[in-house]
Amino acid sequence: MRITLIGGSGQLGSDLRKRLRGEVVSLGSSDLDVRRDDDVAAALDRTRPDVVINCAAKTHVDRCEDEADHAFEVNALGAFHVACHSERLGASVVYVSTDYVYGAAGRRETPYCEDDVPGPINVYGASKLSGEYLTRAYCSRHFVVRSCGLYGVAGASGKGGNFVETILRLAGEGSPLRVVADQRLSPTSTWELAAKIAELIQTDRYGLYHVTARDHCTWYEFALEMVRKEGHDVSVEAIGTADYPTRARRPAMSALTSSELAAAGIESCRGWREMLHEYLLMRKSSTQTGSLGARNR
């Protein structure tokens, strides 16, 4: 199987490079600008993939509010270009999306499943939902994969790190932490997500999938577990969304659940604590070997 991995230098892409089986060509943002149709056509004509995995994205949620045109160019127009040329070459395509396609339904107590109607409340979510629709419309062999609260050893270049690294850095400095306790999510390691994508592309069960931790927590509970597991002696205060204003609105519930993975014969992801504990061990190992990378500072 020939695989072209777009966005291969990012947080998820780095783990996909280790998880994928077959002949993998990895293209970073310096290699390919998905906003340029001719560049996408040339790249895929050159690599002749059986599968294209599109991890290219503008992911900084707050910055997207002020840079909406750029967000839609990368997350939607870029997805359109990738989908069209994948279809032209008879390749399947994976589009990686987000829990933030939800939120407009208002107050909700349970996670969203694949057949729940999306409704984003920020530009980032709207741009990713547009990318989903364009991928599904223009490539018949598509896997749209929504995930949530991603973190990985490579960090997220568009965000300058990830939530786990930010919390651990502050805790390591002895700083007291104030963390939102009224937003629920299903945080997922990119190592786990990459493994599920690697399984999924071996099938022909095209469609929409939620691939996240099988359970959920608040950002506060997530941070508290990190601090406890790493043995940091710092206070962690639970606060409300109103106490931590951000440029973009966030859903109070954006945890996801899946019925489609099981239908494809793929086991669901592990619980968020198990994934986090594994990540902390991998992080220590990477630090000791000097491969953690500056983006996780």
Catalytic residues, by residue number, are 124
How big is the chain, counted in residues?
Answer: 297
For 154-166, b/e burial (b = at least 16 CB within 10 A) is bbbbbbebbbbbb
What does the alpha-carbon distance between residue 76 and residue 87 come to, in Å, rounded to a whole number?
A: 16
User: 247: which DSSP letter?
Assistant: S
What does the alpha-carbon distance between residue 256 and residue 110 come to, in Å, rounded to a whole number?
A: 9
What does the alpha-carbon distance between residue 173 and residue 238 come to, in Å, rounded to a whole number?
A: 19
Cα atoms in the 13 Å half-sphere on the side-chain side of 131: 37
Give the 3-state secondary structure of residue 6. Answer: strand
